[in-house]
A and B are shown apart, each in its own frame.
Chain A
C-alpha cells in the first residue's frame, strides 16, 4: 500500500477502513436529517463499538469493512 512495508500497509488499511466506516455513517445519518451531534455519536458507535473493535483485536480484520451497510439503508 503506497510502497509501505507489509505491516505498515496492514495498519494503514485498518485505519482507512475505520475512517471510511465513520465518515459514511455520519454522511448517511445526516442525510436522514438527524441532529449533527447525534449523527456524530451514531457514527462513533457504528464504527468503534466495543463489539466490533473486539473483532479487530482477535485478528478478524475482514469484518471491519462495512461502510456500505448504512448506504443500503
Chain B
C-alpha cells in the first residue's frame, strides 16, 4: 500500500496503509513498532529511487548531481540511525566516576520510545557534550532509563568540580 500510494498518489491507498498498520497494532504492538520504524526509511528510499528513475528516463537532470548524492547519503545515515540506533551500547558514568557500558536491555522501561527524541535527555548524549545549557539550581532531572527519580549533580556540593552540566546522581532515598 505504501508503494501504491507513492506511485499513484491516491488517498485510498494511504487509508489502506493506515488500516493495515492499525490492524497490525491490534495483532501485536511489538512487531508494529518496528513496522512504523521501517516505514519512514522505506518511504524515503522509494522517493529517492523514483527520482533516480525519472532522471534516467527523461534525462532532465544528472543522477550524479551533488544534491541527489547528498539526499542519498542523508537517507543512508537516517536509515542506519533508525535501524541500529537501539543496538548501540550506551556509555554512562556512575556516581563514583567510573565509566560503565550498559546494554539496551537495561533501558527496558523506555525501550519502545524511538531513539531520535530519546537521545536528547540522556547525559551521555553527544548533543549535550557539545551544547552546555545552563540549568537553574535545585531543578531535579529524571533519568529516563531508570524508574527511580534522581537529582542532578548541580545540587550536590561534590559535583561542583564536575565537567558535565547534566551529570546525574542517584537519589539514595
Contact = CB atoms under 8 A, between A and B. Distances in A.
B112 to A, nearest CB: 14
B132 to A, nearest CB: 42
Interface size classification for chain B: 10 to 19
A63 B3 CA distance: 25
A69 B28 CA distance: 11
A65, A68, A71, A73: most-surrounded residue (chain B CB, <10 A):
A68
Contacts of A63: 28, 30-31
Contacts of A73: 1-3, 39, 42
Interface residues of A, number: 11
B156 to A, nearest CB: 43
A68 B3 CA distance: 15
Contacts of B31: 63, 65-66, 69
Given A73-B2, A73-B3, A73-B42, A68 B30 contact: no
Nearest to A52: B31
A62 interface: yes
Interface of B: 1-3, 16-17, 20-21, 23-24, 27-28, 30-31, 35, 39, 42
